[in-house]
A and B are shown apart, each in its own frame.
Chain A
């Protein structure tokens, strides 16, 4: 229990927690971490002082005797629980912490548009918008032509699937996470560049360019025509939080 609390606090301190949950729940994980620590300490103290206190207590309150057999039989159950509860610790400590990437998308699909009606995004300057803002803008827009010629400056990871027949095209993608990674939804903006073939899946890139509207899979879709593409390190917060 102590260890579990320590682990929660450690993920918070190293920032790894951003791989798992939406940052607006960080405080909750922090509270939980400290609570686990406190409970752990209380139990250690209680265990250490038990030999002295348990006997007079049993004499003083006869009903406590009735629970005594349960305690011994509860011990094996407790070891089971302990073994199972250490599983998250083992996963957390021994496996490298990695955020979701391209491999996670193939099983859940990627969204070009979101059903989030938000006009606020239009008040953000085009070069300040991230992948989520653009996807929202595309969804809220009634006339895609308004995006033609707009400049964009995006950071995301490279994603391709079988639908991308032209090897000059790929997607600069991000995951959005509302609560924790269980509800992660992948979103992306299509990018066109002669350099595209040099990039491999999951590379983090910064793409600057201007939008055009072209056909993609038979649908008129805004496509970012890249002017520069540079490789960048993965951001500290790999997910976007809507």
Chain B
């Protein structure tokens, strides 16, 4: 294959992933802008349960309230941190929300029906997200974990600032303008991670062959590893990965391996990992990749070896 063919292939894949993902990122940044302007710190403090376990569980299920996929969840989480959301709750939300929402429920149901894959996907995601969230609660000080940018609380308690800036009758309009500007900032900030991640994912798809990975389908443990690698490399949106998983089932991948793909992929993939860097310090991002990886591998292998459907 000559270089120009490869370049066009790369370009088509790159733009395909980008066009799809940028729409979701934009939705996320707009939600984030609205949170900045209309949600106060006290609201967050009031709604987060006192009990640690309850709080982390609530974080895992928050996705049903904010229907965002893995591109949109990053700006929303960062904004919630700026509003004082506890680290552990945010981590649980960040990891679980791409799966824990109605859109993903619908697409998984469409692909696999109501059965072990659907239930397994949601249960395993919840367990993994809650476990990582609880682990992060051991380090309650956000300073050690977050990027400085994610810590800065933007000036002004929203409504108060705009009250002083504009005429009283246009407070709402002013707030909307401010939300738009916050959304723009976030979009530029996160957009570069998205572009880099998309380019990497498209490059991997273009320059590496998937055939070797598919050849691993028959073995109960290597097929799980293969699915985890696929999930990481492909970086497809969690709202549609169920349908792709169905085509892997076609190549002979067993249920446990598919569950690894369906639980690890939405939490961690090339573009999500790069976007996490806009919230967390590099060391923490490594934990956030490795912990879900190990857990989803264990779940996948265990199911392949011990559970018969």
Contact = CB atoms under 8 A, between A and B. Distances in A.
A21 interface: yes
B26 A36 contact: yes
Interface in B125-151: none
Interface of B is mostly: helix
B22 interface: yes
B15 A182 contact: no
A80 B235 contact: no
A107 B247 contact: no
Contacts of B1: 103, 106
Interface in A19-55: 19-21, 25, 28-29, 31-32, 35-36, 38-39, 42-43, 46, 53
A96 B20 CA distance: 19
Contact of A80 (B14, B192, B249): B192
Interface residues of A, number: 65
Nearest to A38: B180
A98 B19 contact: no
Contacts of A100: 9, 12-13
Interface in A93-141: 95-100, 103-104, 106-109, 111, 113-116
Nearest to B233: A182
Contact of A91 (B11, B20, B188): B11
B165 A53 contact: yes
Contacts of A78: 188
Interface string B149-166: 000101110001100110
Contacts of B250: 111, 113-115
Interface residues of B, number: 66
Contacts of A61: 155-156, 160-161, 164-165
Nearest to B199: A87
Contact of B8 (A64, A66, A98): A98
Contacts of B181: 42-43, 46
Contact of A87 (B5, B17, B195, B206): B195
A115 B247 contact: yes
A201 B236 CA distance: 28
B187 interface: yes
A111 B22 CA distance: 30
Contacts of A66: 155
Contact of B208 (A104, A107, A178): A107
Contacts of B304: none
A57 interface: yes
B244 A183 contact: yes
B234 A183 contact: yes
B68 interface: no
A180 to B, nearest CB: 4
A3 interface: no
B24, B199, B247 — most chain A CB neighbours (10 Å): B247
A118 to B, nearest CB: 12
B199 A182 contact: no
Contacts of B24: 28
Contacts of A91: 11, 14-15
Nearest to B6: A103
B156 A64 contact: yes
A17 B7 CA distance: 18
Given A29-B23, A98-B12, A179 B206 contact: no
Interface string B245-281: 0110110000000000000000000000000000000
B156 A63 contact: yes
B188 A179 contact: no
Given A1-B187, A114-B247, A178-B243, A183 B236 contact: yes
Given A17-B19, A35-B30, A46-B177, A178 B240 contact: yes
B155 A39 contact: no
Given A85-B195, A108-B210, A181-B17, A39 B187 contact: yes
17 contacts: A20-B20, A29-B23, A60-B165, A61-B165, A63-B156, A81-B191, A85-B188, A88-B198, A98-B12, A103-B6, A104-B9, A107-B205, A111-B250, A178-B243, A181-B13, A185-B244, A242-B243
Interface of B: 1, 5-9, 11-20, 22-24, 26-27, 30, 152, 154-156, 160-161, 164-165, 177, 180-181, 183-184, 187-189, 191-192, 195-196, 198-199, 201-202, 205-206, 208-211, 214, 234-237, 239-241, 243-244, 246-247, 249-250
